[in-house]
Amino acid sequence: MVRQRSAKPPLAGSIPAVASIPVPPHFNFAATVVSHGWYLLAPFRWVRDEQTLHRPEILSGKAVELRISFGGNALRVEGADESEELRHKLGRMFQLGIDTGEFVALSRNSPAHAWVESSGFGRLLCGATLFEDVVKIITTTNTMWRQTMRMTELIVEKCGRKTKSATAFPTPEDVARFSPDELQEDCRLGYRAKTIHALASGIADGSIDMHALSDPAQSTEELFRSYRELPGIGPYGAAHLLAMDGRHDFIAVDTEFRRFVRERYHGGRAVSDRTMLRRYAKWGRWKYLAYWSELWESVAAGLEPDVDRVQAQKDE
């Protein structure tokens, strides 16, 4: 007796999902990934040799593992079918909606920024949601970078939704189900536990409307004030959140900014914040990116060892 073969192809149902997300001009995948310390924070995992960014992500309410690479003038995303939710999250993550052409043009006239155009620098890696970025900014304040990395890792491990081998960054609802005491003890957050819990609970119960608060129709000044209303966000945090919206009008003044500008431009002499900020006035709405590109270039050769100092932010 000859057994009939099934009409169903042997690999049916096992073909991995792959999405392709187009990118704008002046986009460089690797330069965007390593644009600042976010790529070293959970749940990101950057495999430099493969030029691949791994990240578990919540899509349609379920945590899935994404493998993001670049080819054919588009992001190649393995692990998920193309959807509006995926396009929105990847668009935020890689700042795909931001036109950096003006910054690139300005950099051509600055010897200190001549490398910007050829390197594709100009976009900052972000979290998939505003909530993720706010939480991570809170974990950078008044601490050292290695502690920021550990706090973020523990928040993800405790509160996030798991895949077979990884854990996605938690939603506000995922975090709010734990008490501030639990977050403080298990995630080593210190005083930040109450702040992060208040943020997550406010979003979960609707008392904090992140969509209205981050409405892009607002002027940059209005948006800066809106971000200042968030728990744990001061002037430094608000300026950094603006940069993640592609708005670089405000420089995040902190101890590292003061150190860098004093050493680079003033021979280590103490000068006022106003004097230091005046140096970047010519960059107009690209002030923060002009400063950040100078700072980041100075540590790029030994990124992991030096990032401990660069990211030790103090919200003043």
> Is the pLDDT score of 203 beyond 50?
yes
> Is the pLDDT score of 272 beyond 70?
yes
Residue-wise DSSP of 80-117:
S---HHHHHHHHHHTTTT---HHHHHHHTT-GGGTHHH
pLDDT attached to residue 254:
87
How far CA 56 is from CA of 64, 179, 232, 248, 298, in Å, comes to 5, 25, 26, 29, 31
> Is the pLDDT score of 314 beyond 90?
no
Q: What is the pTM of this model?
A: 0.90
* Furthest CA-CA distance within the chain: 92
Find where tokens 């972000």 sit: 126
Q: pLDDT (tens digit, 9 = 90+) per residue, 78-87?
A: 999 999 999 9
Q: pLDDT (tens digit, 9 = 90+) per residue, 91-122?
A: 999 999 999 999 999 999 999 999 999 999 99
Ordered structural domains, the chain, with CATH:
18-97 (3.30.310.20), 129-208 (1.10.340.30), 219-316 (no CATH)
Categorize the per-residue pLDDT at 299 as very low, low, confident or very high, splitting at 50, 70 and 90: low
Q: pLDDT averaged over the chain?
A: 91
Nearest-5° Cα angle at 230, 226 to 234: 85
pLDDT attached to residue 72:
83
pLDDT attached to residue 15:
65
Q: pLDDT (tens digit, 9 = 90+) per residue, 26-50?
A: 999 999 999 999 999 999 999 999 9
